[in-house]
A = this chain, B = another copy of it.
Amino acid sequence: MNPLIPIVLSGGAGTRLWPVSREGHPKPFMKLPDGQSLLAKTYLRAMGGDHVADVLTITNRDYYFSSKDEFNRVVEQSSCNVKGSFLLEPFGRNTAPAIALGALWARELHGPGATLLVLPSDHLIQDARAFHANVREAVVAAGEGQLVTFGIPAASPETGFGYIEGGETLGTGLARGIRRFTEKPSLAKAQEFVASGNYFWNSGMFCFTADTLLEELAAHAPQMHQALMACWENTWQASDDKWRVLEIDAQTFGDVPDLSIDYAVMEHSSRGVVVPAAFDWSDIGSWNALGALLPEDEQGNRTQGDTVLIKASNNLIQSEDRLVAVLGVDHLVIVDTPDALLVAHKDHVQDVRQVVTELRTMGHDCYRTHRTVSRPWGTYTVLEEGSRFKIKRLEVRPGAALSLQMHHYRSEHWIVVSGVAKVINGEREIDINTNESTYIPAGHKHRLLNPGVVDLVLIEVQSGDYLGEDDIVRFDDHYGRV
């Protein structure tokens, strides 16, 4: 049996889901009402397949540590014995280059018959049993040399999706031939497609062997194939028992055409087939879609967090840590985060990306970062910034360490409020227990470690003339950030 290698594509900013989704914390990392992120759900889906021993994540290198953390949590929770592989892009280059590099890697490591299951990480599928039954169908077709797409039976005339027109049923399985791919259609066209009953939304999920894909890529996009071979030769690899990381070379990657897998291969190949999805599927494309996951009250309101509703109906309210009171309003989407609030009419949720565009134009930081920022060692949250001071809460995971570093302009007071810290401060190395503190003068080399088995929570009060994140000189780092 050939191994099944899920390839999780983790890209896409999800700007329509601002202010929760941001450039530094994009849609795959958003937690759904059940507390699990879309990426975690995708990993669970990936690991649930038969004969899965290795999951490849293809993502921007900025999301490496966050993705790895998410992967690790899923492995721990599900007790799957699966290796985590990460193919890191220096920048986005659409789906064809990413998937083809994944195929090159799979062929080299797992043989030419390795079967790839391509899964975008920002979709929601709740019926795992039906999904895996479909995947088994797809694996059989892939084994016969076909390029399988998963088609979602078009139930409504969405104009934001690509469509696949289904052809003849092939053999005894569910797979059908493909008559045609259609880019995002007009509403009239979309309505026609839905009425015909023979059209599917192109879900972006695929299944094929590494060899089939690479053969078809060479045949239909020879220039890309050639550029990718050069890029693959320059891709840097490292691995141990548990993890494998591949860093794509930026220079040669830049020479690869920016094309989708549909455009580069699927639309030209005669080997494409579609497996109609028997499972539910949502791309969580807007706040309305996300809201649908919350229970509805008698007035049609869906809420999460601390809320008071008076004379209010059909609203979606999501609050993280503040009270949201609404009065006499309906059909609103209200999304509250520590540093930014969105109030939108439900009919306009598709335009949330315009807010993000506007914020980017303004140079406003909150299109990009949240108040809580992920780091390889845990997270930090800016609690307050004032004149000449900044207060942060740091959460450091067990066994993790910040880099050995030094600041020119700021000194730092550290107070441990939970767990225990090991601190290197100039020449000294000390343990700081809960409710103890230390002081790092400007110019001192220092390092913070969590030697314990529970999270370390530390309050940092910075003081100085300049408090920018870029006042940092790193001398040593466990995460290669020197």
Q: Are B327 and A354 in contact (CB under 8 A)?
A: yes
CB <8 Å contact, A327 and B341 = no
Q: Does A424 contact B (CB under 8 A)?
A: no
Say yes or no: B339 contacts A322, CB within 8 Å.
yes
Decide yes or no whether A435 CB sits under 8 A from chain B.
Answer: yes
Q: How far is the CB of A455 from chain B (nearest CB, A)?
A: 11
Residues of B close to A364: CB separation below 8 A: 306, 308, 323
The verdict on A437 contacting chain B, using a C-beta distance below 8 Å, is: yes
- A348:B327 contact, CB within 8 angstroms: yes
For residue A285, give the distance in angstroms from its CB to the closest CB of chain B. Answer: 16
Q: Is the CB of A340 within 8 A of B328?
A: no
* A437 and B437 within 8 A (CB): yes
Q: Judge whether B411 and A435 touch: CB under 8 Å.
A: yes
Contact B310 A328 (CB under 8 A): no
Complex interface residues of chain A between 309 and 348 (CB less than 8 A to chain B): 310-311, 319, 322-329, 332, 334, 336, 338-345, 347-348
Whether A329 touches B308, Cβ cut-off 8 Å, given contacts A386-B457, A391-B383, is: no
CB <8 Å contact, B325 and A355:
yes
A345 CB contact (under 8 Å) in B322, B328, B341: B328
Residue A62 interfacial (CB < 8 Å): no
Within the complex, the shortest CB–CB distance from A393 to chain B, in Å, comes to: 7
Contact B391 A355 (CB under 8 A): no
From B308, B362, B417, contact of A386 by CB (8 A):
B417
Complex contacts, A325 vs chain B, CB 8 Å: 18-19, 340-344, 355, 359
Whether B341 and A329, one on each chain, are in contact in the complex, defined by CB atoms closer than 8 angstroms, is: no
A351: CB under 8 A from chain B?
yes
- Residue on B nearest A339 in the bound complex, by CB: B322
Q: Does A375 contact B (CB under 8 A)?
A: no
> Which residue of chain B is the closest to A351 with respect to CB atoms?
B327
Q: Is there a chain B Cβ closer than 8 Å to A194's Cβ?
A: no
A463: which B residues are within 8 A, CB to CB?
415, 417, 434-435
Q: Tell me the minimal C-beta distance from A102 to chain B in angstroms.
A: 37
Residue A263, interface by CB 8 Å: no
Q: Are B327 and A352 in contact (CB under 8 A)?
A: yes
Closest B residue to A323 by CB, please name it. B340
Contact B386 A383 (CB under 8 A): no
Residue in chain B with minimal CB distance to A354: B310
What are 12 of the A-B contact pairs (CB < 8 Å)?
A: A19-B323, A310-B354, A310-B358, A323-B340, A324-B343, A325-B355, A326-B343, A327-B342, A327-B351, A334-B343, A343-B343, A459-B461
Seed contacts A326-B343, A328-B347, A391-B459; 8 additional CB < 8 Å A-B pairs = A308-B358, A310-B351, A323-B366, A327-B343, A327-B352, A329-B344, A334-B341, A415-B461
